[in-house]
Amino acid sequence: MATIREPLVRIPASLVSVADYERLAPEFIEPATLAYIAGGSGNEQSLRANIEDVARLRIRNRLLVDSAHGHTRLSLLAHSLAHPVLLAPIGHQGLVHRDGEVAVAQGAAATDTALVTSTQATRRLEDIAAATDGPKWFQLYFQPRKEHTLALVRRAEAAGYTALVVTLDTPVQPLSRRAQRAGFRIPSDCLPASLAEFSEQTRPPSALAGVFDGLMAAAPGWQDLDWLMGQTRLPVIVKGVLDVEDAAKCQRRGVSGLVLSNHGGRALDGVPSAISVLPEIRARLGKTYPLLIDGGIRSGYDVFKALACGANAVLVGRPQIYALAVAGALGVAHMLKLLRDELEVCMALSGTPTLADIGALSLAPDLQLTNLGYH
């Protein structure tokens, strides 16, 4: 078995893309852990769709556009952001680096990047917040007992998080076949630090109890979302939306924004990618309603495509884990710089000097092979 390398302290000249971090990841992550990170649920149809649907889109280049005053700034939920790339909430980051989510927060701080901290983080939410003075949101899973959910909300408010991102698409977490085959188990030193004070008896029932009698018995409903919004002044964003009717229902109930997501292909397998449903949801909810997406974002060109389809911003998931494993906070910062640099190049060459200039016309029409005489 190959020896797992320590994180790099310098970025080699050969590391020039987000894909390079994924390519190097097996040298820095234990095989079973890598299977857990890289894998998706079921037959991994949705995992593949995330990449394929983004890759299928083509960008329209434009000539002689004045881009002298171009920039990537935006306003999102009344906050000014330097660019439209956020770090998605990913739990158990201590699996790949000793400093875990704190190192990710340091990388975010170095690149003016907004951070979304996971309920499942291996570092306390307060310690993660203290590691960055940049924008930060807290991703919340409803706990089986409301007082525990409320305790997390109050801690997030006190720590300086400025929005709550409520994940609703995984009341049951499907098992990854890759992880099962690799024999992966989350080690005891990588459990969620912010949940440590909650006793085992109040955590969700084991899947051994059966789906409907076990996990789904404690699953939240619309009334719980309404309750949560009544408990905080922070904007509440719902993550995990793919259905246009669910999206409209969230908007009507006063949800401040949505993250369109299939959980990185780790929730219900066979559902569409976020980018494929984005245009329909944008059309239904209007031009000004905040919509973010995740899944399949691997370059600045992918960020551009998501914005052209109607997103205000994107979240990157697995790339931050690979970058963290390869080079710690430095790797996360470098990965984010690569995304931002590529986005700026793409904007310049497509004649869209600001994010407001990016739209549906920034994408080329689908190539119809039949028009070229192919069948």
Residues annotated as catalytic (active site), given as ranges: 263
Q: Tell me how far apart the alpha carbons of residues 195 and 121 are, in angstroms, rounded to a whole number.
A: 9
Tell me the H-state helices in 2-74.
18-24, 31-38, 45-56
Q: Are 239 and 168 in contact (CB under 8 A)?
A: yes
How many whole angstroms from its chain centre is CA 336? 13
What Rg, from alpha-carbon coordinates, does the chain have?
A: 20
Residue in 252, 254, 87, 243 with CA at minimum distance from that of residue 168: 243
DSSP string, 108-151: HHHTT-EEEE-TT-SS-HHHHHHT--S-EEEEEPPPSSHHHHHH
- The residue with tokens 């944008």 is 282
- How many C-beta neighbours within 10 Å does residue 48 have? 14
